[in-house]
Amino acid sequence: MTQQTRDEVGGLLPHDEFRAASEAIVSNIEQVIEGKTATVRLALAVLLAEGHLLIEDVPGVGKTKLAKAMARSIDCSVRRIQFTPDLLPSDVTGVSVYNQETHDFEFRPGAVFANLVVGDEINRASPKTQSALLECMEERQVTVDGVTYHLQTPFMVIATQNPIEMEGTYPLPEAQRDRFTARIAMGYPDPTAELAMLDGHGATDPLDELRPVSDANTVRQLISHVRQVHVADAVKQYAIDLVTATREAPDLRLGASPRATLQLLRTARAVAALESRDYVLPDDLQVLAVPVLAHRIIPTADAQLARRTTDAIVSELVHRLPLPHDRGRSPYDTRPTGEGNSRATYEPRRR
C-alpha cells in the first residue's frame, strides 16, 4: 500500500487563489450550518494547521453535521466511525488477516486510513479503543504487528462528544485530549439562523445535496501556503508566555504542554492566512487561546468547587498577560513604515 507522507504536500498558491479556495469551502459548509461562520472558519483553520478537532456540545446543535459537511466539501477519502462500547482497536487501525491462497497474512486497513476521519461520540468507546488513535493522531502512522503504515496527507480526525451525558461514556484521558488541536462548541443558533434552518432543513437535508468544492491536492497546497506565514520572535515569545502562564496558574494543577505551544502557533498561522495576512498577530493567539488551551488543562479541586471553568481561567490569563507592543515585521509585508522606523508597531486591543 502506497501512502502519501506528511511532507509530500503541494506547491504554494497565490494569495488570491488561496482566498478563493478557502472561502469556497467555508461557503459550502455554511449551506448546512446556519449562522456559525466563526466556528466553521476555526474548523477549517485546524485542518490547514494539520491538526485535529474536538467538537464538544449538547445534543442536537449540529456537531456531527459540521464534521460531515466539512468532509463532503473536500473531494477526498472520508471514513466515519461510530464509537460504541463494543468497538475494537482493530476496527480503527486495521488487522492482519490470514490469506489461504497465498498462505500468508495480509493487512486490512482500518477506518483511520482516510484523509478525513469523523469519529462520532468518541467518548462512548472504551479507553482501549480510544488509545488506538494516539499514534495516528500524533505521528500520522499506524503500527500493526510490527509493521508501520503511513497515513495520507491531509489527515484530520474530527471527533464529537456530549459533555453532559455520562451514561455509558468514558472520559477522554489527558493524552488523548492533548492530541486535539482545538476544542470548539457549536452553541445554540440565534433566532434568525434558526428560522433560516427551519426554511432550509424543513423538507430536505441540504447535506444530501452538498457537493465537493475542493480536493485533497488543493488542501495540500493550502497547507503549504499556511506553513509560509511569518511569525515574529516577539509573537513566538508571547505564545510561550501564554502557555507558561497556564503552568504557573494557582487554579490549575496541570498546565498546557509544549505540544500545545506548537499547535497554538500552527493554528495562528492558519487563521492569519484565512484573514489574508502573511504574518501572525498577537490578536490571533488571544482569540485561539481558549479553543486551543482550555481542553488540555486541569483545574485544582478548589477551582472545581468554585465552579470555575477552564475556559474562564484561560480567558483571565489572556487578559492579565501583557501584549508585545512591537510585533515585528513580515519579510513579505510590503506596506510602508514610518520614517526612521523599519518595524511595524502593533497597537494592542483587548477582546
**Position 280 in a domain:** yes
Number of domain units in the chain: 1
pLDDT above 60 for 307:
yes
Q: Report the pLDDT value the prediction gives residue 326, as an integer from 0 to 100.
A: 56
Q: What is the pTM of this model?
A: 0.86
Q: Please tell me the distance from the alpha carbon of residue 156 to that of residue 90, in angstroms, as a whole number.
A: 19
CATH number of the domain residue 255 falls in: 1.10.8.80
Of 6 and 287, more confident = 287
Q: Report the pLDDT value the prediction gives residue 3, as an integer from 0 to 100.
A: 42
Angle between helix axes 282-293 and 233-248 (nearest 10 degrees) is 30
**Position 305 in a domain:** yes
**Position 41 in a domain:** no
**Position 258 in a domain:** yes
The cell numbers describing 121, all together, are: 461520540
Q: Tell me the pLDDT band of 350, cut-offs 50, 70 and 90.
A: very low
Beta strand 94-99 with 104-109 is: antiparallel
**Position 292 in a domain:** yes
- CA-to-CA dists, residue 141 to 48, 173, 236, angstroms: 19, 20, 29
pLDDT tens-digit readout, 72-111 = 999 888 899 999 999 999 999 999 888 888 888 888 999 9
Q: What are phi and psi of 24, to 5 degrees?
A: -65, -40
**Position 308 in a domain:** yes
Give the structural domain span for 262.
229-324
Q: Report the pLDDT value the prediction gives residue 194, as an integer from 0 to 100.
A: 82
**Position 59 in a domain:** no
Q: Tell me the pLDDT band of 341, cut-offs 50, 70 and 90.
A: very low
Q: Report the pLDDT value the prediction gives residue 159, as an integer from 0 to 100.
A: 93
Q: Please tell me the distance from the alpha carbon of residue 53 to that of residue 64, in angstroms, as a whole number.
A: 12
Q: Report the pLDDT value the prediction gives residue 343, as an integer from 0 to 100.
A: 38
User: For residue 142, how far is the Cα from the chain centroid?
Assistant: 20
pLDDT tens-digit readout, 147-159 = 899 998 899 999 9
> Which one of 140-154, 188-202, 265-279 scores highest in mean pLDDT?
265-279
Contact status, residue 291 vs residue 315, Cβ threshold 8 Å: no
Q: Report the pLDDT value the prediction gives residue 12, as an integer from 0 to 100.
A: 66
Q: Please tell me the distance from the alpha carbon of residue 295 to that of residue 20, in angstroms, as a whole number.
A: 32
pLDDT above 50 for 65:
yes
**Position 270 in a domain:** yes
